[in-house]
Structure 1
Amino acid sequence: MRLFVCSLLLVLSLLFSFTPLVKSATPPSDIEEYLINAQFQEAEAAFTAKLQENNNDDLTRFKLGVVQLMGATQRLTQSLYRYGVQQNFVTQFFPILRLPVPINPKPEPVTYQDTRNVLQNLLNDLTQVKDTLEPIKDNQVKLPLRLGLTRLDINADGKLVEDESFWKTFSLLTGIPASEKAAQNLAIAFDAGDVIWLRGYCNLLSAIAQIVLAYDESKLFDATAHLIFAQPKTPYPFLVAGRSPSGSFDFDIITDIVAFVHLMNFPIAEPERLTTAMENLRTVTALSRQSWDLILAETDNDREWLPNPQQKGVIPNAVVTQPMIDEWLTFLNETDALLTGQKLVPLWRKREVRGINLNKVFTQPQTFDLILWVQGTAAAPYLELGKVTDTNTWLRLLEVFRGQFFQFAAWFN
């Protein structure tokens, strides 16, 4: 979720900083009224009822998928708030935990199973969004939307304050100034290509969730959860009691970090989840191709989220060229070849001509040991002779995207 939310927040924050203010904002649309008031359940009920009257109404179906996704984001942030997630140098490295959730003065105790439940609930929500968006077939569907006006009731107190608005979250997350007036006057015209893009993102996030849930990380939680949550329930309560003040860095923190790395040794718990994750990733590449087919066929120029080379996007100074798209499609092909085992990942140890069959990593999983993967011995069961991915393919990506491939990849999906 953070990959989607944070990339969207960053982009919109940049937009807000460049958006001119006008004297009056456009009145909110029906979906914006729901988003402004964090009425996600009410919106879902209303749009579902409308779809029952006309099952071919793809615009309403698009709206339903959006409010379901925003509802999922609210449920996730409420869970993090409930369990008192800490904002520190540790949580900054974790996608979900980096979401800017305020400090909870009365956090609930959290168990390892609770954290798995949070992730499973997110996975269920993403599946619902995917199922909602999949039937959309109208290539002319368009949904102008001012997402910055969205509010989330993060602390679940039934009240909506300024700090719970998307535009404020943008500012907190990125440090870039934003304002409500700018949010009121910034609309993105999401279209058919963006529907496919959103489906792809949901599959990407689902793959990440499935990979985490496939393994047993309970030992890591027991020894280091005090770095992340305010009141973790573990066999070592003295770790919570002796926690260093926020922001301080001492010997205890150093040993905690060492333990954290040492305990990234996860037995496989639900291997079938890894097969599902691989299927999700292959769906991501297929949907990305479909999305770009639609984007390249567009002839309008209307507040584009993902523009083709003849269009102007809403993101300032973000130009998409045909060579970028060509190399992106090459990247998708290379990724598919790796996921299916047609090509191999080169091993980083010297004098080893065999490569890693990534397909078998997913379909024949073993205990994940970070240290042994870095060293190379964990890759031994998956080594085989075959065609290794061409390093030049990846170097061309970096060159065409001017060294910003990963930033563009978070946007392109």
Structure 2
Amino acid sequence: MRSRFLLTVFAGTLLLSTHLVSAAPLAEEYLKTGQLSEGATALQAQLKKNPDDDQARFGLGVIQFFQSLEHLGNNLYQYGLRTERAFGGMPGEIREVLPQNPAPKTLSYTETRKIIQTWVNDLNAAEQTLSAVKDSDVKLPLHVGLIKVDLTGTGKPIDAGFLLGGFNTPEEQQQVAAFVLDFDRGDADWLAGYCNFLCAWGEVLLAVDGEEMFNCTSHLFFEKVDTPYPFLMDGTRRFDTVYNPATGVNRPLVSDILAFIHLWRFELKEPERMKAALAHLEDMQRHAKSMWKYYLAETDNENEWIPNPNQTGVLEIKVTQEMVDTWLVVLDEAGEVLQGKKLIPFWRGQPGVKGVNLRRVFTEPRKIDPFLWFQGTAAAPYLEKGTITDFANPELWRRINQTFGRNRFFTLAFWFN
């Protein structure tokens, strides 16, 4: 049931972006044909003629979001992401959606950083467009299941209906194709928030120096890589052959996996990017607050992506006022932590005496070592006395569990943004 819900949420995300485009009828047509670049050009021309057309602006932001996915997919395909050869039993649906390039280019660490930078640039463009939407009455109804994205750059776009079709009956596939979402002003904040979330991760990846990990382990994920250790590309590189019944343990692969784990420690390459990541997380929290302001003000009930307590959403999940109130408390608490006004509890030493100032982790960045963070010594520079976040308070989690249901909070949090 949970996996089915997540698939529905993913489908809705695709629909959301598409739906936003329908505000400009042109946008949906370009989304349905997979002509995203042409669609972006057409909507930019529309906005040049009519700068107040927030429907066109919303549609442009949706197209730009899908372009970020398309450009990322194209780059990964071009450089031979091992979607087929890393595993022997890859499901047919995945091979059709993300086939492996039979003649890939050689990937270098420098090119890897360029790919991530392109992804961040694309997401930033989408976020800025969506953040400029001001009309509280803007509407973007879209046939989400008909949106097409060319993830390989081979001129064979995949539509959202197909992505879901691999997991549904023919009747349900038809329903997906006919599925319409009426995206509104709050949904513009929803998508902008997710753009910020993804940008934050991109900035962190660019902040650290991952060249050693690339040199030693990138052959596991890409078919051809520029590494000082070319012998790593010899032999079997499939993850499902860690143990070979005929020859015993696949020592090279086991050693590669151990090296990958061992190399999870990163010096900083561009430390200023950690501040940029923090800014994106703060913007994400701001959008998450803003979207509920608009959701709660709605009086209609038309194919809602995320409904308020008086509406019925297309996912048919009841949203109560208590759920909204509790979620807003969570968002406020997250904002206090990001601003450094409240501290994350430290699990060593005297309980409740000191906590970790998460803001300083971003504004005063140091070498990132997850294992030393788990041990506690990496947190030492950021320990200080102060108010510990309510996320450490059992009463808050009791309220969350009572409101959202046990084991459902994080699933619904993904939906709520």
Q: TM-score, normalised by structure 1?
A: 0.87
Structure 1 gap segments, 5+ residues each: 1-5, 17-27, 92-97
1: CA distance between counterparts of 2:101 and 2:85?
Answer: 18
Match for residue 224 of structure 2? 231
Instruction: Using the TM superposition, give the Cα deviation of residue 400 of structure 1 relative to its aligned residue in structure 2, in angstroms.
Output: 2.2
Deviations along 1:220-268, one digit per CA (max 9) or x if unpaired, are: 1111112211112111122111233452223333322221111011001
Equivalence map 1:15-164=2 (5 Å): 29-87=25-83, 101-160=98-157, 164=158
Seen in structure 2, the aligned counterparts of structure 1 residues 198 and 13 have a Cα distance that, compared at 3 Å, is closer
2:241 is the alignment partner of 1:244: no
1: CA distance between counterparts of 2:32 and 2:382?
Answer: 50
Checking the alignment, whether the CA contact within 8 Å between 1:146 and 1:188 is kept in structure 2 is yes
Which has the higher mean CA deviation after the structures are superposed, 351-360 or 213-222? 351-360
Match for residue 280 of structure 1? 280
Instruction: Using the TM superposition, give the Cα deviation of residue 171 of structure 1 relative to its aligned residue in structure 2, in angstroms.
Output: 4.3
2:404 is the alignment partner of 1:405: no
SS of the residue 2:323 aligns to: helix
Match for residue 381 of structure 1? 381
Alignment partner of 1:191 out of 184, 195, 201: 184
Seen in structure 2, the aligned counterparts of structure 1 residues 214 and 146 have a Cα distance that, compared at 3 Å, is same
Matched length: 385
2: CA distance between counterparts of 1:302 and 1:356?
Answer: 44
Structure with greater contact order relative to length (CA < 8 Å, sep ≥ 6) = 1
Checking the alignment, whether the CA contact within 8 Å between 1:88 and 1:246 is kept in structure 2 is no
Seen in structure 2, the aligned counterparts of structure 1 residues 241 and 201 have a Cα distance that, compared at 3 Å, is same
Instruction: Using the TM superposition, give the Cα deviation of residue 176 of structure 1 relative to its aligned residue in structure 2, in angstroms.
Output: 4.4
SS of the residue 1:213 aligns to: helix
Alignment partner of 2:163 out of 152, 155, 169: 169
Alignment partner of 1:207 out of 164, 185, 200: 200
CA RMSD of aligned residues (A): 2.6
1: CA distance between counterparts of 2:5 and 2:217?
Answer: 28
Look up the equivalent residue of 2:230 and give its one-letter code.
P
Deviations along 1:271-290, one digit per CA (max 9) or x if unpaired, are: 11111111111111111111
Structure 2 gap segments, 5+ residues each: 15-23, 88-93, 244-250
SS of the residue 1:35 aligns to: helix
Match for residue 343 of structure 1? 342
SS of the residue 1:372 aligns to: helix
Residue identity (%): 40
SS of the residue 1:33 aligns to: helix
Equivalence map 1:259-338=2 (5 Å): 259-316=259-316, 318-338=317-337
Instruction: Using the TM superposition, give the Cα deviation of residue 382 of structure 1 relative to its aligned residue in structure 2, in angstroms.
Output: 0.6
2: CA distance between counterparts of 1:408 and 1:88?
Answer: 32
Seen in structure 2, the aligned counterparts of structure 1 residues 12 and 205 have a Cα distance that, compared at 3 Å, is closer
Checking the alignment, whether the CA contact within 8 Å between 2:164 and 2:173 is kept in structure 1 is no
Look up the equivalent residue of 2:358 and give its one-letter code.
L
SS of the residue 2:278 aligns to: helix
